């Protein structure tokens, strides 16, 4: 190959997906590409998406993003997990933390030892054997000191896009303001040749990235990729996001509090709190949702919540012809486990690794699509689990999700855990064994049996091992500062 055949990359849309893609591409492959991003201030962005998972931390590291500068610019706080409240039962609470549970062996994961100890009456709560869990519960946080924690961020979505935009433009990404009026395709191949703006400007490219949000202007409206609907498994389809004034120090975790037709989030930033009520419009009207939200909100709202409608599902193909969909244009599971920005970052990483310098071919597209499908399906199952494995039957919504037929892939996982306490992470799965175990147990799926390896130890040995783990973690957490104290110190505020 004398010269790369794909050089001109055109990104349609400047939400989180557009700017993450633009910055990732220019940061890693800048000298090889001409990158243009088109966005329309008139249309705007979805403007939510404030909770992330540890991929954000890793991605930023790969991209050379300065953590302190990014956190200061986006009012970010640290996140150690999610507190699920009222999910399996009204009044229940468990934390899905980003940490590792105890210490397993090659023969059996830690929870098998813990289940044996619990059966014998001397196990503490499983979260007591996890540093991130205990730190989150105590609202503590530290990095760079004795204990290293696995963490993510809560961030302000709008300044996040602006921050990435500044970095991307400084490295040569060209931003064009304007509304895309039409998508022009090659008559024979159907490949996209150019995007025409309302101003009449025509922007040509070799590879197009559709980051136009739910509308999927290129991937769906033009290339008809198709959409696989998952709303029969994930019936929540509406959200009322609103910001409130902070009422206390920011907690290092997201709260996900279930209600009779969905749940609400609470995401603490440095200067305010992001909130949102997610609900199923088939089970709750907008008026009822607004009334419920008003009674549950802590802190003064900074504006009237605006309604967002969404649909759970995925684009049947994220890469069609010479167009790749990223972000909401490629699908949306629902925000419960904060996985959308993760999916954007993983897809950008994959694109960087598989960049079609030699031209787009069916093989590279198929491989990309195969990986994208498997990832989002794994996430879908994990999220359905939170709804389906519940003892709640206090409303039509909970009775529906509790008794609905779930995907076979999830059915099999739940049965395996119920019968044998086995949990696993397949090669394409985002969520580790520790995540599955925390949520399976948190949703009250009780294993009938588990690996019996712990019986090869004496009671004293097992008790001693668990006790040492628990007290070492407790000591490390005790030495940590409160998150609200650490944060300004770390950021030099
Ligand atoms: C209720 C809710 C809560 C969420 N919470 C989380 C969360 O906690 N964590 C998380 O990871 N994710 C969350 N998400 C998902 C997250 O918001 C998105 O993944 C993220 O914002 C990326 O959006 P996007 O860039 O794909 O689309 P958008 O933000 O919608 O951006 C679309 C862009 O395309 C442009 N555009 C569209 N049409 C045209 C046109 N014709 N011409 C020119 N420009 C055009 C727009 O101007 C805009 O710049 C949430 C989503 C919802 C709906």
Q: What is the pLDDT of residues 69-85, one digit of tens each?
A: 999 999 999 999 999 99
Residues with CB under 6 A from ligand 1: 13-18, 38-40, 43-46, 48-52, 157, 179-180, 211-213, 215, 217, 239, 241, 276, 308, 310, 327-329, 335, 338, 340-341
What domains lie within the chain, and their CATH numbers? 8-77+154-229+313-378 (3.50.50.60), 101-148+383-478 (no CATH), 238-309 (no CATH)
In terms of Cα–Cα distance, which of 185, 229, 163, 135 is closest to 483? Answer: 135
Predicted local distance difference test score (pLDDT) of residue 187: 96
Element counts in the chain: helices (H) and strands (E): 14, 21
pLDDT tens track, the chain, 493 positions = 777 799 999 999 999 999 999 999 999 999 999 999 999 999 999 888 799 999 999 999 999 999 999 999 999 999 999 999 999 999 999 999 999 999 999 999 999 999 999 999 999 999 999 999 999 999 999 997 666 899 999 999 999 999 999 999 999 999 999 999 999 999 999 999 999 999 999 999 999 999 999 999 999 999 999 999 999 999 999 999 999 999 899 999 999 999 999 999 999 999 999 999 999 999 999 999 999 999 999 888 999 999 999 999 999 999 999 999 999 999 999 899 999 999 999 999 999 999 999 999 999 999 999 999 999 999 999 999 999 999 999 999 999 999 999 999 999 999 999 999 999 999 889 999 999 999 999 999 999 999 999 999 999 999 999 999 999 999 999 999 999 999 999 999 6
The helix/strand/coil state of 2 is: coil
213 annotated ligand binder:
no
Buried b (16+ CB within 10 A) or exposed e, 226-263: eeeebeebbbbbbbbbbbbebeeebbbbbbbbbbbbbb
Q: State the pLDDT at residue 348.
A: 98
CA distances 405 to 377, 383, 387, 411, 415, Å, are 16, 14, 12, 9, 14
Q: Are 167 and 297 in contact (CB under 8 A)?
A: no
- pLDDT for res 493: 67
Q: Bridge partners of 389? A: none
User: Are the beta carbons of 44 and 188 closer than 8 angstroms?
Assistant: no
- pLDDT at residue 47 in the model: 83
Helix (H) or strand (E) holding 242: strand 238-244
Pocket test residue of 76, 200, 212 for ligand 1, highest count of atoms within 8 A of CB: 212
Ligand 1 centroid distance, CA of 16 (Å): 6
Report how far residue 213's alpha carbon sits from residue 333's, in angstroms, rounded to the nearest whole number. Answer: 14
Q: What is the pLDDT of residue 19?
A: 98
- Tell me, what's the pLDDT at 146? 61
Active site members: 79
């Amino acid at each position: 190959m004398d010269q790369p055949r794909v050089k001109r990359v055109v990104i349609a849309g400047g939400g989180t997906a557009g700017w993450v893609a633009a910055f990732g591409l220019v940061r890693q492959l800048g000298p090889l590409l001409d990158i243009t991003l088109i966005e329309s201030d008139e249309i705007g962005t979805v403007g939510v998406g404030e909770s992330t998972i540890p991929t954000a931390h890793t991605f930023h590291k790969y991209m050379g993003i300065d953590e302190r500068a990014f956190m200061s610019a986006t009012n970010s706080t640290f996140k150690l997990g999610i507190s699920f409240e009222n999910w399996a039962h009204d009044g229940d609470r468990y934390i899905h933390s980003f940490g590792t549970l105890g210490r397993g062996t090659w023969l059996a994961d830690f929870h098998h030892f813990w289940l044996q100890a619990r059966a014998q009456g001397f196990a503490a709560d499983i979260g007591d054997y996890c540093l991130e869990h205990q730190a989150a519960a105590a609202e503590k946080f530290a990095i760079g000191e004795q204990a290293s924690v696995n963490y993510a961020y809560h961030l302000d979505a709008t300044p996040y896009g602006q921050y990435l935009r500044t970095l991307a433009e400084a490295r040569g990404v060209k931003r064009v303001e304007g509304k895309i009026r039409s998508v022009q395709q090659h008559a024979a191949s159907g490949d996209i040749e150019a995007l025409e703006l309302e101003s009449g400007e025509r922007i040509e490219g070799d590879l197009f990235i559709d980051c136009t949000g739910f509308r999927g202007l290129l991937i769906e409206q033009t290339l008809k990729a198709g959409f696989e609907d998952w709303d029969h498994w994930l019936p929540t389809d509406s959200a009322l996001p609103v910001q409130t004034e902070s009422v206390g120090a920011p907690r290092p975790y997201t709260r996900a509090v279930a209600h009779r037709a969905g749940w609400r989030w609470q995401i603490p930033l440095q200067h305010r709190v992001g909130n949102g009520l997610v609900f199923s419009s088939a089970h709750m009207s907008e008026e009822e949702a607004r009334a419920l939200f008003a009674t549950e909100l802590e802190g003064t709202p900074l504006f009237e919540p605006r309604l967002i409608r969404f649909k759970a599902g995925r684009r049947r193909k994220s890469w069609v012809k010479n167009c790749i969909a990223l972000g909401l244009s490629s699908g949306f599971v629902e925000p419960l486990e904060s996985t959308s920005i993760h999916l954007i970052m993983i897809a950008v990483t994959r694109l960087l690794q598989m960049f079609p310098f030699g031209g787009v071919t069916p093989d590279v597209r198929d491989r990309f699509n195969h990986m994208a499908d498997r990832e989002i399906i794994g996430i879908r199952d994990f999220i359905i689990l939170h709804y389906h494995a519940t003892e709640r039957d206090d409303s039509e919504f909970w009775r529906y999700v509790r008794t609905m037929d779930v995907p076979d892939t999830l059915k099999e996982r739940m049965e395996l855990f119920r019968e044998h306490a086995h949990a696993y992470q397949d090669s394409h799965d985002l969520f580790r064994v520790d995540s599955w175990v925390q949520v399976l147990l948190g949703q009250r799926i009780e294993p009938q049996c588990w690996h019996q390896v712990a019986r090869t130890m004496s009671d004293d040995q097992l008790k001693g091992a668990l006790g040492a783990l628990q007290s070492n973690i407790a000591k490390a957490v005790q030495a940590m500062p409160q998150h609200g104290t650490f944060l300004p110190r770390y950021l030099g505020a």
